Chains A and B, each alone.
Chain A
């Protein structure tokens, strides 16, 4: 059997199904008024998932196009940026964190430094006032700024 993405996925899904079923069976139910209870549904689903995965393992689809190295690196960078955005969102506040992340994201999507920086400034500043004043949404101003203001 040649290795296809679908086969790897199928095996992973069977693993997931087993995990789900084991977790469900181990649930401790203090008391129950109903004949079914919370276990049956996940167990049934995991059986269904296993059957479907087996079908996919024996009849995998075309392999699809996976990102080459340079793209995979970019993908990882975007993810790291989004993660950094999450971490910095409350720390630095909306304006500063958005400025940094938007500029970097725009740069990753092939904008020049100048364009990226302008996008970052416009989106973070106008966005902040649009969200807070016009829409009444409270956004973090940042611990870092709180000490100044």
Chain B
């Protein structure tokens, strides 16, 4: 049963892939620590480079996955030291992390977060190893109707879980799906929304889309924040550098529980590290905050979200590798990276491309250990990254974005399109949208339409096929419940209260 893992270690332990896992872990930690870059931008910038370097698919994926998990480690730096979350997954880390830094315990806080991240990620990687092949076996039975229902479920869980405003999440996803419809329709050969521009016949290119949406919009957004968060290079003193074993053991319950919670939330399609961090923090607060110390620099309040967001990051690989449905915005980008190599992730990947699936999972084990070894002693060095001024960061992002898009297309249309998408992304962010649903919609939309049309071709147009099988019916019910319950449960509770009182 674990043949794929043994083969995977064979792939991951080649010098090239080992080196790439190391490089990715290092770059990822840096990207995560750099204000405003985060995992998606890091991957968006590196993806075209990895592709043009001619790296094989599994090596490229190993590099990018290491960047992803590394960024989850790096994101805590600014949360703990500056009270500014590096990305959405690290929001909860600020609650107890920053008070700890103010008490002069920044060093131990960084150490504890590295250890919690490591344990959380390890729990999730073991979960991934056990769970993914099983899910892949089930997923082999999925037909187009089941996949369509699964995507409906993914979108509904995303609307409920992601972001503060479900309507905006849904609108963002629809806009993403619509952007995905541009180009030649694969079913009929008809041109859709190309407006006579031959450059658009192949659709809006993935790399152009994510670099525009994330990197360019980030440049525009940074202009605004440049006064409010620049800190003139002053960081709180780290204090002693290592966290003691006693401190870690005091948090072991929080770390293990949160790792499990994080993994489960990560597996759910459409929900990622930010939700996992929030759920684990509130759970831990309810369970173990006896003296009301959470929020004032309680180590358990730091360990819980750190363990959970790393576990969720790894957990989101489960639906991506087995079903081809990304569990988060970042895995949506990784999915796109695989598509550059003409690999469609899904249940068949474990049998047809075991070197990719197994190699990736094996490299996660390795990368995680590398990350712990890098992050414990080097926390102080990585923290220096926070003092890099924006006037260095912004031009560097601009150069990497331009070079990345130019080398893939060598034409100016792609660059103009990237800028247009960048302005679009900026406006969306200013209007309170999060970009993850847009990218998920863009990645999943095409698959969703194909599966819908394939299913209806099989049935000759009878829509009943969409919920005929047990699996698809179950997914539909789950999707509807997810949408209705958050709205219904508070009302039911409110109705019960007066009768109880």
> Least Cβ distance of B490 to chain A in Å?
17
* Nearest CB of B to A92, in Å: 13
- Kindly identify which residue among B174, B185, B392, B430 contacts A48, using a CB–CB cutoff of 8 Å: B174
CB distance from B23 to the nearest CB of A (A): 13
Chain A count of residues within 8 A CB distance of the other chain: 69
Contact A123/B396 with A75-B220, A89-B406 known, Cβ cut-off 8 Å = yes
Q: In whole angstroms, how far apart are the Cα atoms of A20 and B181 in the complex?
A: 11
Residue from the list B49, B181, B398 in contact with A82, Cβ < 8 A: B398
Q: In the complex, A35 Cα to B454 Cα: how many Å?
A: 9
Say yes or no for B235: interface residue by CB 8 A criterion. no
B2 contacts chain A at the CB level, 8 A cutoff: no
Shortest Cβ distance from residue A31 to the other chain B in the assembled complex, whole angstroms: 8
Q: Is the CB of B431 within 8 A of A5?
A: yes
Q: Are A41 and B181 in contact (CB under 8 A)?
A: yes
Tell whether A36 is near chain B: CB-to-CB under 8 Å: yes
What DSSP secondary structure best describes chain A's contact surface?
Answer: helix
Chain A residues within an 8 Å CB radius of B407? 137-139
Nearest 4 A/B pairs, CB to CB:
A35-B461, A111-B391, A102-B395, A106-B391
Residues of B within 8 A of A27 (CB): 190, 192
> Are A106 and B190 touching (Cβ within 8 A)?
no
Instruction: Report the minimum CB–CB distance from A78 to chain B (whole Å).
Output: 6
B-contacting residues, A24-57, CB 8 Å: 24, 27-30, 32-38, 41-42, 45, 48-49, 52-53, 55-56
Cα of A94 to Cα of B403 in the assembled complex, Å: 9
Given known contacts A38-B188, A38-B192, A89-B415, A101 and B395 CB-to-CB distance under 8 angstroms: yes
Interface pair B398/A106, CB less than 8 Å apart: no
Summed over the interface, the residue pairs from A and B with CB atoms below 8 Å come to a total of: 165
Would B223 and A61 count as touching, CB distance under 8 A? no
Q: Does B341 contact A (CB under 8 A)?
A: no
- The prevalent SS among residues of B at the interface is helix
B188 near A29: Cβ-Cβ < 8 Å: yes
Tell me whether B394 is interfacial, beta carbon within 8 Å.
Answer: yes
B223–A78 contact, CB under 8 A?
Answer: yes
Question: Within the assembled complex, what's the spacing in Å between the Cα atoms of A37 and B406?
Answer: 35
A residues touching B (Cβ–Cβ < 8 Å)? 5-6, 9, 13, 20, 23-24, 27-30, 32-38, 41-42, 45, 48-49, 52-53, 55-56, 59, 61-62, 64, 66-67, 71, 74-75, 78-79, 82-83, 85-87, 89-90, 94, 98, 101-102, 105-111, 115-116, 119-120, 123, 127, 131, 135-140
Type the 1/0 row for B395-425, where 1 means its CB is closer than 8 Å to any CB of A: 1101100110011000010011001001100
Identity of the chain A residue whose Cβ is nearest the Cβ of B53 in the assembled complex: A135
Q: Decide: A139 and B403 in contact? CB cutoff 8 A.
A: yes
Residues of B within 8 A of A13 (CB): 171
A37 and B187 in contact, given A71-B224, A75-B220, A127-B399 (Cβ under 8 angstroms) = yes
In residues 230-266 of chain B, which contact A (Cβ within 8 Å)? none
- Partner-A contacts on B (CB < 8 A): 49, 52-53, 165, 167-168, 170-171, 174-175, 177-178, 181, 185, 187-190, 192-193, 216, 219-220, 222-224, 226, 389-392, 394-396, 398-399, 402-403, 406-407, 412, 415-416, 419, 422-423, 430-432, 449, 452-453, 456-457, 460-461
Tell me the smallest distance from the CB of A61 to a CB of chain B, in Å: 6
A-B contact pairs, 28 of them (CB 8 A): A5-B431, A9-B431, A34-B187, A34-B188, A35-B457, A38-B185, A38-B188, A38-B192, A45-B174, A49-B171, A49-B175, A64-B430, A89-B415, A90-B412, A101-B395, A102-B395, A105-B391, A106-B395, A109-B226, A109-B390, A110-B226, A111-B389, A111-B391, A119-B392, A127-B399, A131-B403, A135-B49, A139-B406
Q: Which residue of B lies closest to A10 (CB)?
A: B171
Q: Min CB distance, A126 to chain B, in Å?
A: 11
Q: Contact check, B187 vs A52: say whether CB atoms are below 8 A apart.
A: no
The docked-state distance in angstroms from the alpha carbon of A78 to that of B406 is 19
* Cα of A75 to Cα of B412 in the assembled complex, Å: 22
Cβ A34 vs Cβ B456 within 8 A: yes
How far is it, in angstroms, between the C-alpha of A13 and the C-alpha of B175 when the chains are bound?
9
A43 to B208: give the CA distance in the assembly, Å: 26
Contact across chains for B431 and A109 when beta carbons are under 8 A apart: no
- Besides the known contacts A27-B190, A30-B189, A137-B49, 13 further A-B residue pairs in the complex with CB atoms under 8 A apart: A28-B190, A32-B188, A49-B178, A78-B219, A82-B419, A82-B422, A85-B402, A89-B402, A102-B395, A102-B399, A105-B398, A106-B391, A136-B53
- Taking a contact as CB atoms under 8 Å apart, the answer to whether B49 and A86 are in contact is no
Contact between chains at A36 and B403 (CB < 8 Å): no
Please give, as numbers and ranges, the residues of chain A lying within 8 Å of B452 by CB-CB distance: 36, 41
Q: A27-B190, A36-B452 are contacts. A42–B223 as well, Cβ < 8 Å?
A: no
Complex: A107 Cα to B175 Cα, angstroms: 35
A61, A90, A109: the one contacting B432 at CB < 8 Å is A61
Chain A residue at smallest Cβ distance from B170:
A52
Asked if B167 contacts A56 (CB within 8 A), the reply is: yes
Q: How far is the CA of A23 from the CA of B191 in the complex (A)?
A: 11
Q: A71 vs B426: C-alpha distance in the bound complex, in angstroms?
A: 14
Partner of B416, one of A6, A86, A105: A86
Q: Cα distance A36–B454 when bound, in Å? A: 9
Does A83 lie within 8 Å of B456, measured CB to CB? no
